[in-house]
């Protein structure tokens, strides 16, 4: 029995709320709070059990702390935007509440995400006897735990990691993003960094491309190497890694639109003056694009996200692939959301379940791979994200079609 406050009523917030509401024995009381309370009310109306809703500005630490002191939840599930991570952590410390999120802090005025700001809270959470779980979505989140699970059960030492995120879904729009457009475009247009021989190596965005045949008939897709936040924590926590890369699939139409929008300055984060008003181009663009939480009824196809790990077991080289396939239409039938929100919201619910059940309760600030993956992966099988492990021939290499020498 526990009480949770969920902050953020977007695409991911809707899924977390549905999934927590499905487990009344674990999450006996749920409060959904966001900047726009009507969005919380619309989600609450989809559920078959009552929850409470509230209007809250998570940038305002004193009022958020006062709200949490009055509500006295066991845990705050932060599925607002990465800009709110630090203010919500501050309010949790003040109110004595455990914390969980799905994306690392990013300052509004710099398109650069790093864990250093949140890792700096380690001592304060430890001293307060509180737990903060960082990055309990799919990637980061499930991908970190897939790596930890493989390292624990399949290897003595891991050397290479390829995280491959394929979205084979089609929503029928020429250009739309599957999660918050501003965060998505900032991430995709950032310089690529991958781990090679003990350091991060920078290359231009989208300059390395491969084709990847997903298992179980999901299809073959173009995947592009890019930087993703779990590379920072995984290379820190698995120092035996010699190389770590993150790959994501993109369609031609998405890339063409992104290139043109970038060329004309629409993805910029610096304010520009327009008719006497300051506007930030990427925020204006985000306003024009379809709201990701409305893509559910239109999206067909599957996602396939997983980790290929190379390493040693009993002195022999081994290559293992752990992956999860999710069907957009099945997600919509269950919780009225497409699979990107679903694959993020379910791990956020499971991570929260780990905290409130006391399985992940060590005081301090933790990336999920620092915690035991076994119960989490069991729950993925139970609560909508079943996964598979297959052994690959160690001679397997990704079929790189562009940027071979980089």
How far apart (Å, rounded) are the C-alpha atoms in residues 353 and 378?
12
**Is 233 one of the binding residues for ligand NDP (CB under 6 A)?**
no
CA 12 to chain CA centroid, Å, is: 9
**Is 12 one of the binding residues for ligand NDP (CB under 6 A)?**
yes
**Is 80 one of the binding residues for ligand NDP (CB under 6 A)?**
yes
The pair of three-digit structure tokens given for residue 401, joined into one six-digit string: 């079609």
Report DSSP letters for 356-391, one per residue: HTTSS--SEEEEGGGS--HHHHHHHHHTT--EEEEE
Q: State the number of CA atoms in the 13 A half-sphere of 216 facing the CB.
A: 17
> Cβ–Cβ contacts within 10 Å for residue 375, how many?
14
Q: Are strands 316-327 and 387-392 parallel, antiparallel or unpaired?
A: antiparallel
**Is 103 one of the binding residues for ligand NDP (CB under 6 A)?**
yes
Cβ at position 77, least distance to ligand NDP in Å: 11
**Among 30, 44, 77, 81, which residue interacts with ligand NDP (rule: CB under 6 A)?**
81
CB closer to ligand NDP out of 130 and 142: 142
Across 204-348, the runs of DSSP E, i.e. the strands, are 209-214, 219-226, 243-249, 272-274, 277-279, 302-313, 316-327
How far apart (Å, rounded) are the C-alpha atoms in residues 163 and 166?
10
Using CB under 6 A as the binding criterion, the count of chain residues that bind ligand NDP stands at 33
**Among 2, 17, 53, 84, which residue interacts with ligand NDP (rule: CB under 6 A)?**
84
**Is 53 one of the binding residues for ligand NDP (CB under 6 A)?**
no
Closest residue to bound ligand NDP by CB: 10
* Interaction residues for ligand NDP, span 281-340 (CB under 6 A): 292-293
**Is 167 one of the binding residues for ligand NDP (CB under 6 A)?**
no
Evaluate the omega torsion of the peptide bond into residue 270 and state whether it is cis, within 30 degrees of 0: no
**Is 351 one of the binding residues for ligand NDP (CB under 6 A)?**
no
Tell me the CA end-to-end span of the chain in Å, nearest whole number: 52
* Interaction residues for ligand NDP, span 20-49 (CB under 6 A): 34-36, 39
**Is 226 one of the binding residues for ligand NDP (CB under 6 A)?**
no
Cβ at position 198, least distance to ligand NDP in Å: 26
> Cβ–Cβ contacts within 10 Å for residue 305, how many?
26
Stretch that binds ligand NDP, among 112-120, 146-154, 175-183, 210-218 (CB under 6 A): 175-183
The pair of three-digit structure tokens given for residue 169, joined into one six-digit string: 């879904």
Contacting positions for ligand NDP (CB under 6 A) = 7-13, 34-36, 39, 56-59, 79-82, 84, 102-103, 137-141, 179-180, 183, 292-293, 344
């Amino acid at each position: 029995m526990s009480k949770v406050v969920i902050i953020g009523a977007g695409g991911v917030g809707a899924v977390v709320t549905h999934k927590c509401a499905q487990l009344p024995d674990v999450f006996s009381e749920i409060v959904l709070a966001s900047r726009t309370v009507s969005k919380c009310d619309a989600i609450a109306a989809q559920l078959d059990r009552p929850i409470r809703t509230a209007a809250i500005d998570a940038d305002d630490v004193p009022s958020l702390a006062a709200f949490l002191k009055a509500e006295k939840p066991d845990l705050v599930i932060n599925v607002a935007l990465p800009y709110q991570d630090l203010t919500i952590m501050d309010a949790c410390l003040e109110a004595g509440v455990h914390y969980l999120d799905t994306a690392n802090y990013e300052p509004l005025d710099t398109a650069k995400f790093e864990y250093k700001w949140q890792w700096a809270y380690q001592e304060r959470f430890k001293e307060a006897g509180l737990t903060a779980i960082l990055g309990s979505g799919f990637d980061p989140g499930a991908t970190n735990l897939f790596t930890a699970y493989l390292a624990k059960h399949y290897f003595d030492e891991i050397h290479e990691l390829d995280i491959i995120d394929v979205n084979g879904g089609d929503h029928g729009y020429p250009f739309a993003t599957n999660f918050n457009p501003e965060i998505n475009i900032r991430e995709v247009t950032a310089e690529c960094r991958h781990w090679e021989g003990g350091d991060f190596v920078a290359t231009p965005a989208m300059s390395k491309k491969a084709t990847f045949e997903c298992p179980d008939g999901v299809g073959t897709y173009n995947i592009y190497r890019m930087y993703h936040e779990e590379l920072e924590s995984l290379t820190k926590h698995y120092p035996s890694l010699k190389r770590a890369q993150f790959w994501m699939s993109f369609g031609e139409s998405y890339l063409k639109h992104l290139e043109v929008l970038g060329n004309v300055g629409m993805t910029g984060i610096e304010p520009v003056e327009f008719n006497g008003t300051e506007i930030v181009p990427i925020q204006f663009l985000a306003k024009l694009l379809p709201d990701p939480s409305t893509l559910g009824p239109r999206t067909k196809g599957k996602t396939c996200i997983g980790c290929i790990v190379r390493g040693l077991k009993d002195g022999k080289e081994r290559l293992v692939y752990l992956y999860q396939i999710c069907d957009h239409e099945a997600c919509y039938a269950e919780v009225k959301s497409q699979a990107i929100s679903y694959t993020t919201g379910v791990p956020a619910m499971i991570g929260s379940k780990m905290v409130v059940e006391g399985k992940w309760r060590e005081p301090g600030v933790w990336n999920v791979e620092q915690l035991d993956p076994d119960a989490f992966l069991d729950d993925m099988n139970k609560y909508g994200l079943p996964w598979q492990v297959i052994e690959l021939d160690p001679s397997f290499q990704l079929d790189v079609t562009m940027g071979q020498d980089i």
